[in-house]
Amino acid sequence: MRPEPDLPLSTFQARRLCRLVAEAFGEAGLVVEVLGDHVVDERGRAHGLRDLAAACATEPPAAWPEVVRRHVHAAVSPAPTLADLDDATLEASCVLRLLPAAALPPDWDPAAERVTADLVSVVAIDLGDQALMPPADALRERAPLLPWRERAADNLRHLADHLPLHHEGVAPQGAPDDGFDVVVGESGLVASLALDLDALLDRLGLADRGRGVLVGAPYRHQLALRVVDGPGAATALGHLVDYTRSTYAVAPGPVTPLVHWVHEGLWRPTSSAPPQDPPLARAAEQTRGGRVATERLHPEVAAALGI
């Protein structure tokens, strides 16, 4: 029952997580074997631990047992279908979700709204412990008169105000102006809050000063951002790029390794690296020695940063 060392936890924390997971499955009547970063139950079904480990990492130790119980309950409970949900539940639980375009099958929704060349915004059904990702045509067939995207956007705005979040500032020692803000939470919709950036900034006591916001969404439980508000933002971009890329490489549920400049609702990668390159390779080209590779900056980003 050796914990997997690449879980986002210390060895002691990983061992505790494995014990809590085994106990929670036991309460559900299942015996599981812990195998590194996943468990296998007696029916041969595998259940990954990386999402759960990431969720626990954002919570105090005393909250872990309940977080684990909820996660295991969702894992062993049969997922509902659209037909199982009434109209009121669907209207209240549909929400916009930010996803890498590569995560969707080609025919899933040809009309899915593109946020960038690599990212899409889709309508998901968030049931708290469970989430549904039905194809767009299934949603239209289920409720053809419901304005799905508009209602999902309204619900996301509500989440931006009420979703449990942990917010902290990250900055190099002795250089507070060169830092950025990190937001994490148990919900897998934290990264999607970037789709309603003004509402999230208002929640955090921040505001777009008219020159946009630098946004990193490395994985679905986390956002990292910096308002472009002065000379420190250019230096902060280098730190933000390195942070986003390294977190994306190890975190569960990755979204994008790229930092984007969001201005007036439009998302632009801060780097002008060739779009046909893989996202992680493009992210690696954004900095050099911890500093922004200014020759690769998108011209509009460079102008906003005053470079």
State how far the Cα of 141 lies from the Cα of 136, in Å rounded to an integer. 9
Per-residue pLDDT of 225-279, as tens digits, reads 999 998 889 889 999 999 999 999 877 778 999 999 999 999 998 876 555 556 6
Residue with tokens 């420190």: 232
- Contacts (Cβ under 8 Å, ≥6 apart) of 100: 118, 119, 120, 254, 255, 256, 279
Q: Does the pLDDT value for residue 59 go beyond 60? A: yes
Partners of 132 in beta bridges:
125
**What confidence score (pLDDT) does residue 268 get?**
92
Task: Please tell me the chain's helix, strand, coil percentages from 3-state DSSP, rounded to the nearest 5.
Answer: 40, 20, 35
Per-residue pLDDT of 127-149, as tens digits, reads 876 778 888 888 888 888 889 99
3-state SS, 190-223, equals CHHHHHHHHHHHHHHCCCCCCCCEEEECCECCEE
State how far the Cα of 37 lies from the Cα of 43, in Å rounded to an integer. 18
Per-residue pLDDT of 117-131, as tens digits, reads 899 999 999 987 677
Q: What is the DSSP letter of 254?
A: B
